[in-house]
Chain A
Amino acid sequence: MTKTGQPVIALIGNPNTGKSTLFNILTGLKQKIGNYPGVTVEKHLGQLQLDDLEVQLIDLPGTYSLSAQSPDEMVVIDVLRGAIDDIGKPDLILIVIDASNLRRNLYLVSQLLELGQPVVVALNMMDLAVENGIHIDVDQLAQELGVPVVPIVASSGEGIDNLKKVLRQSLEKKAIPSLNLLPEIKQAAIKLATKLRREGIEIPSYELERALIDEEGYAEHRLAESHDNPVLEQIRQLRKKLSHGPSLSVQDARTRYGWINRLVDTIEVDEPETAKKSLTEYIDQFVSHPVYGSIFFLLLMAIVFQSVFAWATPLMDWMDHITTTAGKWLEAHLPPGALTSLLVDGVIAGVGSVIIFLPQILILFAFIIFLEDSGYMARAAFMMDRPMRAVGLSGRSFIPMLSSFACAVPGIMATRTISDPRDRLATMLAAPFMTCSARLPVYALLIAAFVPQKTWFWGLINLQGLVLLALYLLGILGGVTTALLLKRSVLKGPTPTFLMEMPPYRLPSLRSVLLKLWERAQIFLRRAGTVIFTVAILIWALAYFPHPVSIHNQFEQQRVEIQRQGNVVETRITELNNQEAAAYLEQSFLGRIGKAIAPVFKPLGWDWKVSAAVVASFPAREVVIAVLGTIYAVGSDVDEEDSSLITRIKSSTWPDGTTIFTVPMAIGLMIFYAFCLQCAATVAIIRRETGTWTIPLLSWLYMTSLGYIGALLVYQIWS
């Protein structure tokens, strides 16, 4: 029950059983996503209406058993036992099982039936079971388990009303199932708990039971960390006493599958014909074929990327257009001053820089969700496992890394499917190195300005393309090296297993995909959006203030002068306005910061203008172009192909007349952008996924230093 007295139902099941589909259908849009303290697991809460009763539904992460190997897996046990403060102990456990795959699903059921809490079983995928020729005697199953069993098809909503009715009844009856497959172990755990309590040590008996059975598991590990050696010693002795030959974990698994096999034999009438080929097998003959499968995979990825760029670019241009139009309109209709500037250059530009990411993120995520729900994701991980192992990761890291070539934000959010926490962290820290689309305008500007248009082999190979390719490779190299180094040092550990279910192919339901997409969009807007927006306002304030009136007076005089002469030249006025903006920026705190830290960047060949532009682009790297536009007095609405900006940059000089933008300096600048983590969205999302600021800050420091050192080396050695 929650603190306010609301009943709590915990939803649990194996991965790929349709658990999130069921959660979504039960709670609709009434969901809340958070994090459990200290772990990276997402906390999904939803409100479920059972007639007159409103119930809190907790969606637990998919799991095959209650044996936890990591803190993330331990969350399941902690929630079920009511050990998480703000949730409260569940009044009922709702287990989803896959009717087309009963045996393995019943393993978790057998464990949950022993917790001494009321249980309801939702028998999902009934349509697939029928299709595969599996007939389940549902009444018999309910009788054998001693709990209600409700057949459903979560994807179509069949049986959901009935499920709600049964949940309502069970919440009132509170019948406790009475399964006890390993009474000797359970008894020993209870006895040990009592004994320890007398010694003043309070450990719940279920935790002791898990520690006894799961040798080297997380329950044991946690006990060892929080209690003195004697507890652990007693557990070891008890283990020795209880195991008559094979270890307790072996006894446990054997006993449970023995029970399952007997049970399934009595309730499943027609086992599927093994000779009959399923649709999944037909698809896999092609899709998982070593040759055709690899070609299919490459084509699929090409299509995904093509679509992301083809569909996202017009949407992004459109959003950009709307925000600039809105800004211009406001500027024209409001009196000039700090407030208008705050609205236009701060608020609207800030909102713009948040939503500009959305098309890419949503399109990419739609693909990722589709691949996951259809079952193809597991095949991609299967195929890419060997190559990814070369860099110390597993096949599961491939799609997150690949997504990061469009944008690191969905890439980092997609690391959730990586079950090993070390691999997951290494992937998260390597992902921001991949050349995302926000780096492209920066590269395009600098390449167009400083790399000559040279071609070889009848135009097939050109130098500018080669430089761009080299920058992509540099990003990959940075990411791969980072992952390797991390896995060899701080994230070193036993090689994680690659035990991964290959689920049958299923056609994802549109509703489910859209709901998951909506959920990701919300997370991005709430977590990253607020950070990007705040930083954008901050940078605006730095670039605007102190805004001395003397500059205005000086330029106003010239403008009046021109107007008085009668021949008002529009271009001359624009030029003056741009110069005024540049003068303001030089006077602003940002300009002063640029000048103050210019000595730090001097060894890289940067002057204060470049330094200020780089500082201003820490919230979002593509901003650098607009800031350069303002500083070089060509206006802030330039893009990377603007020839006047290129001309200005090329002709800017040091006080002694030497050129600032030399080729080594420009290459160094590109390398800086290749490595540096100039993206508040990425920082915010890493913070969200890891639950701590330490990791994103370390990552930021590491990548920024790498960028600095890279640019320094190139500039110093080359020039």
Chain B
Amino acid sequence: MKQIKDSFTLDRLGAGKKAFVRGFTAEGPVMQRLMQLGVLEGSEVEIIRAAPGGDPIEIRVMGYCLSLRKAEAQMIQVEVIG
């Protein structure tokens, strides 16, 4: 069984870390787009890497890879899978 540890926003997760999406800190079109792309409550996300300078980041979700900026990752609440 995967164990759920901390509650964070996605931007604070390091490369290689996995987490479940728990919710969003803001509503609106950006959140809608994220959800339509598969980043929604219950999805498992994995941080793959960050660009030089640490921003944007690349994550894996729903079996494909997606890049997003830290500002967008900050909207996503996650629970780290230990």
Residues of A within 8 A of B (CB): 64-65, 67, 69, 101-104, 107, 214-217, 247, 249-250, 253-254, 257, 272, 280, 284, 288, 290-291, 293-294, 378, 382-383, 385-386, 395, 495, 497-504
Question: How far is A680 from B56 in the complex, measured between Cα atoms in Å?
Answer: 38
Query: Closest approach, in angstroms, between the C-beta of A38 and any C-beta of chain B?
Result: 21
User: Is B6's beta carbon under 8 Å from chain A?
Assistant: no
Contact assessment for B29 and A382 in the assembled complex, using a CB-CB cutoff below 8 Å: no
Contact A502 B56 (CB under 8 A): no
Whether the Cβ atoms of A65 and B56 lie closer than 8 Å is no
Contact A383 B52 (CB under 8 A): yes
| Cβ of A209 to closest chain B Cβ, rounded Å | 15
Note all chain B residues with C-beta closer than 8 A to A216: 28-29
- In this assembly, does B74 line the interface, its C-beta being within 8 Å of a C-beta of chain A? no
CB-based contact A498/B56 at 8 Å: yes
Measured between beta carbons, the chain A residues less than 8 angstroms from B56 are 382, 385-386, 395, 498
Q: Closest residue to B50 on the A side, CB-wise?
A: A290
A69 to B64, CA, bound (A): 23
Q: Is the CB of A501 within 8 A of B65?
A: yes
B1 CB → nearest A CB, Å: 16
A31 CA / B56 CA spacing, docked (Å): 38
> Taking the complex as formed, is B71 at the interface, i.e. its CB lies under 8 A from any CB of chain A?
yes
In Å, the complex CA distance between A502 and B36 comes to 16
C-alpha spacing A272/B60, complex, angstroms: 14
Interface membership of B68, Cβ < 8 A? yes
Q: Say yes or no: A249 contacts B32, CB within 8 Å.
A: yes
**How many Å lie between the Cα of A423 and that of B62 in the bound state?**
29
Asked whether A103 lies within 8 Å of B63 as measured between CB atoms, the reply is yes
Kindly state the separation between the CA atoms of A284 and B15 in the bound complex, as whole angstroms. 14
Residues from chain B with Cβ under 8 Å of A69 in the complex: 29, 33
Q: Are A250 and B35 closer than 8 Å at their CB atoms?
A: yes
Q: Is the CB of B66 within 8 A of A500?
A: yes
Residue of chain B at shortest CB distance from A381: B67
Q: Is the CB of A104 within 8 A of B62?
A: yes
In the assembled complex, the Cα of A103 lies from the Cα of B40 at a distance in Å of: 13
- Establish whether residues B66 and A217, one from each chain, have CB atoms under 8 Å apart when the complex forms: no
Q: A216-B28, A290-B52 are in contact. Are A499 and B65 (CB under 8 A)?
A: no
Residue B81, interface by CB 8 Å? no
Contacts of A257 in B (CB 8 A): 35, 38, 40
Which of B36, B52, B71 is within 8 Å of A294, CB to CB? B52
Query: A64 touching B37 by the CB < 8 A rule?
Result: yes
Asked whether, in the complex, the Cβ of B65 is within 8 Å of the Cβ of A103, the reply is no
Within 8 A of A (CB), among B26-82: 27-38, 40-41, 48-53, 55-56, 58, 62-69, 71-72
Determine the distance from Cα of A257 to Cα of B41 in the docked complex, in whole angstroms: 10
Pick from B35, B51, B65: contact of A249, CB below 8 A.
B35
What CA separation (Å) do A502 and B63 show in the bound complex?
Answer: 11
In the complex, the chain A residue whose C-beta lies closest to that of B39 is: A499
B41 touches A498 (CB 8 A): no
CB nearest neighbor in A for B55: A386
- In the bound complex, residues from chain A placing their C-beta under 8 Å from that of B49 are 284, 288
Given A64-B36, A253-B35 in contact, is the A386-B64 Cβ separation under 8 Å?
A: no
CB distance from B52 to the nearest CB of A (A): 4
CB pair B41–A254 under 8 Å, yes or no, is yes
Given contacts A254-B41, A288-B49, contact A497 B36 (CB under 8 A): no
Closest-by-CB residue of B relative to A213 is B32
25 contacts between A and B (CB under 8 A): A65-B36, A102-B63, A103-B38, A103-B63, A104-B63, A217-B29, A247-B27, A250-B35, A253-B36, A254-B40, A257-B35, A284-B48, A288-B49, A290-B52, A294-B52, A382-B67, A385-B56, A498-B56, A498-B67, A499-B33, A499-B66, A499-B68, A501-B66, A502-B66, A503-B65
B residues within 8 A CB of A386?
A: 51-53, 55-56
Q: By the criterion CB–CB under 8 Å, are A497 and B41 in contact? A: no
Give complex CA distance A249, B29 in Å.
Answer: 9
User: Closest residue to A108 on the B side, CB-wise?
Assistant: B36
Partner of A253, one of B27, B29, B40, B65: B40
Chain B residues whose CB sits within 8 angstroms of the CB of A65 once the complex forms:
33, 36
What is the CB-to-nearest-CB distance from A516 to chain B, in angstroms, rounded to a whole number? 23
Q: Determine the chain A residues whose CB is within 8 A of the CB of B28 once the complex forms.
A: 215-216
Q: Can you name the residue of chain A whose Cβ is closest to the Cβ of B27?
A: A247
Contacts A288-B58, A385-B51 hold; do A501 and B64 have CB atoms under 8 A apart?
Answer: yes
Are A498 and B66 neighbours in the complex by a CB distance under 8 Å? no
A325 to chain B, nearest CB (A): 51
Q: A101–B62 Cα gap in the complex (Å)?
A: 8
The answer to whether A385 and B32 have CB atoms under 8 Å apart is: no
Query: Pick the contact of A378 from B37, B38, B55, B67 — CB < 8 Å?
Result: B67
Report the separation of the CA atoms of residues A498 and B72 in the bound assembly, to the nearest whole angstrom: 8
How far, in Å, is A283 (CB) from chain B's closest CB? Answer: 12
Alpha-carbon distance between A280 and B60 when the two chains are bound, in angstroms: 13
Question: Most chain-A CB neighbours within 10 Å: which of B33, B48, B50?
Answer: B33
Q: Which residue of A lies closest to B59 (CB)?
A: A502
Residues of A within 8 A of B58 (CB): 288, 382, 502
Contact between B52 and A498 (Cβ–Cβ < 8 Å)?
Answer: no
Structural contact, B51 and A499, CB atoms closer than 8 A: no
Query: CA separation between A489 and B38, bound complex, in Å?
Result: 34
Residue numbers in A under 8 Å from B34 (CB-CB): 499
The answer for the CA separation of A280 and B27 in the assembled complex, in Å, is: 33
Closest to B72 in A: A497
A215 to B52, CA, bound (A): 35
A701 to B12, CA, bound (A): 47
Query: In the bound complex, what is the Cα–Cα distance between A216 and B27 (angstroms)?
Result: 11
Bound together, the chains give a CA A247 to CA B26 distance in angstroms of 12
A425-B18 Cα distance, complex, nearest whole Å: 38
